[in-house]
Amino acid sequence: MTIGSGETPQLELRGITKQYPGCLANDHIDLKIMPGEIHALLGENGAGKSTLVKTIYGVLEADEGEIFWAGELVKIPNPHAARKIGIGMVFQHFSLFEAMTVTENIALGMSGRQDMKALEKQIIEVSSNYGLPLEPRRQVHTLSVGEKQRIEIVRCLLQDPKLLIMDEPTSVLTPQEAAKMFETLRRLSSEGVSILYISHKLDEIKALCHKATILRGGKYISECDPTLETAKSLAEMMIGTDLHAPEHNIEENTGPIRLKVRNLSVDADIEFGINLSTINFEVHSGEILGIAGVAGNGQVELLSALNGETKCEDGEAIELDGKAIGRLGPNQRRNLGLAFVPEDRLGHGSVPEMMLTENAFLSGYSRMQLMNSGFINTGATAAYAKEIVDKFDVRTPGIHHTANSLSGGNLQKFIVGREVLQKPNVIIVAHPTWGVDAGAAASIHQTLIDLAEAGGAVLVVSQDLDELFAISGRIAVIADGRLSVSRNLKEITIEEIGLLMGGTHSMGETGGRSHVA
């Protein structure tokens, strides 16, 4: 269909304002989305995007302003009312019950009583069509972050929405799967479905979206045609200043081996988990090794084995600076110089209801000497938290605010900063910039580069290939619990890595097999 300026907007916001104590999250924001339009909402973390879309979806109530749906003034008091008129939303942070199955979680988000067997068939059909594989009977607590996002997307698509709000929908997909997702969204658009699309991947905004609205500091800044902009110009509109790409002089194998993994095999301890099979790699002082892979291919199990949450039968399967650590726990590994940034920043990387000072203490108490005779040194802990906030430009009213009061990007900067300030010999980082804006992503990338250039070894596990190509010296791919041999970035393309992630192409395995599948 043709998107015309003379049509009635599917959704129109007029003067939407939302005030929190000490923060004007939305300041008289106007927005129009036409039928069939794919409209990007862009802004830094903390710009007001989440507050605005939660208002549209009925999670929050605006202090001022009006919402018009197909030309009619409406009130949207709750998500049920939003879904009833045809608004669906895929949240960046998930609203799932961990102890329930995929099917049960999807049923809870739909109106009326569901035929569970019929719903299972629908889930399989929709997830297959959209390239988002799901096992309907699997319990949510066994899934990776990426797989949990697939549930949210499929649940939303099952409700046949007229407006689909999507928050970072391709962060868990290979390039090939993302391309298939774009085909689906374009088909929905051609059928008249409006899409409000939030992403920090500016190249995909250019490729997919018809219009883009820029927010900064809670205010409407401008509307533009993203196809006429560059990724750099879009990023600079978002942050209001020039954007500088990370710079580094990291070379392959620049120093001694700091992290060595040899013939690591681990059986999954949960149903539907992925067994690790003869994983081999090393990370040298002064380098960044990237591990790519689609969610659910053994990343969770590998990270758990590396950080000590899962202990290895063979203690010598993992070595840190020449010392066997496979049978040591997380705290023992930290004391030897291993730092870890998990993929789930709310829950695993931080305790949401705890203050920033308390979250700083949790991982830094030993290396930062934050205890005296068994008691917390509150002064030193506060100074440590303040140093994190200051050095890593964490936007927060103060260090005594809780972790869940921060935007996603600011919490991520805090967690990365907390680990980096401990001056680790090795840092393992999972999805360092998932759901993070361009400015914060550049800051995090530069932090990891600086750590490597100072002699540290950095291992980054990510599904964002642009990220891995921007900061890594070598890349390996994990698929079905097996790891490919690593390759220098000069020797391989993003397309080849994407095929490896899908398990359809060969590059050799460290376990002695000829293909990753």
Q: Which domain holds residue 278?
A: 249-337+430-517
Give the pLDDT score at 182: 86
Is residue 369 one of the residues assigned to a domain?
no
Identify the H or E element spanning 204. helix 202-208
Specify which residues 125 forms β-bridges with: none
Q: What is the identity of the amino acid at 159?
A: Q
Count of the separate structural domains present in the chain = 1
Q: What is the identity of the amino acid at 301?
A: E
| Phi, psi (degrees; rounded to nearest 5) at 385 | -60, -40
Measured CA distances, 58 to 81, 105, 249 (Å): 7, 20, 48
Measured CA distances, 57 to 79, 110, 192, 343 (Å): 5, 15, 19, 26
Give the pLDDT score at 162: 94
Is residue 474 one of the residues assigned to a domain?
yes
Residues, the chain, total?
A: 517
The set of residues, in sequence order, having a beta carbon less than 8 Å from that of 365 and lying 6+ positions away, is 371, 376, 381
Give the tokens for residue 151: 């549930």
Nearest to 339 by CA among 224, 244, 419, 432: 419
Burial of residue 155 (CB within 10 Å: 0-12, 13-18, 19+) is: buried
Nearest to 416 by CA among 384, 380, 392, 386: 392
Burial of residue 333 (CB within 10 Å: 0-12, 13-18, 19+) is: buried
- Rounded to an integer, what distance in angstroms lies between the CA atom of residue 160 and that of residue 157? 6
Is residue 460 one of the residues assigned to a domain?
yes
- Rounded to an integer, what distance in angstroms lies between the CA atom of residue 136 and that of residue 130? 15
Give the pLDDT score at 172: 59
Q: What is the full DSSP assignment across 130-190?
A: TT----TTSBGGGS-HHHHHHHHHHHHHTT--SEEEEESTTTTS-HHHHHHHHHHHHHHHH
Give the pLDDT score at 503: 61
Cα-Cα-Cα-Cα torsion 176, 208, 440, 241, nearest 10 degrees, comes to: 140
Is residue 345 one of the residues assigned to a domain?
no
Give the pLDDT score at 506: 47
Give the tokens for residue 487: 């390759």
Strands (E) in 217-327, as ranges, are 219-224, 257-266, 276-284, 288-292, 318-320, 323-324
Identify the H or E element spanning 11. strand 11-20
Give the pLDDT score at 515: 30
Tens digits of pLDDT across the chain (517 residues): 556 555 899 999 999 999 988 789 999 999 999 999 999 999 887 789 989 999 999 999 999 999 999 999 999 999 999 999 999 988 766 778 989 999 999 998 787 788 999 999 999 998 888 777 899 999 998 887 667 878 888 888 898 899 999 987 776 566 766 777 788 889 889 989 999 999 888 888 999 999 999 999 899 999 999 999 988 888 888 878 776 666 666 555 479 999 999 999 999 877 667 899 999 999 999 999 999 987 778 998 999 999 999 999 899 999 999 999 999 999 999 999 999 999 888 888 999 999 999 999 999 999 999 999 999 999 999 999 999 999 998 988 899 999 998 887 889 999 999 999 999 999 999 989 876 777 778 888 999 999 999 999 999 998 888 888 889 999 999 988 999 999 998 888 877 887 777 665 444 554 433 333 2
Is residue 163 one of the residues assigned to a domain?
no
Angle of the 408-420 helix axis to the 378-391 helix axis, nearest 10: 120
Is residue 37 one of the residues assigned to a domain?
no
Is residue 279 one of the residues assigned to a domain?
yes
Radius of gyration of the chain, Cα coordinates, nearest whole angstrom: 23
Residue 281: CATH number of its domain: 3.40.50.300
- Rounded to an integer, what distance in angstroms lies between the CA atom of residue 110 and that of residue 88? 11
Give the pLDDT score at 38: 97
Is residue 513 one of the residues assigned to a domain?
yes
Identify the H or E element spanning 429. strand 426-430
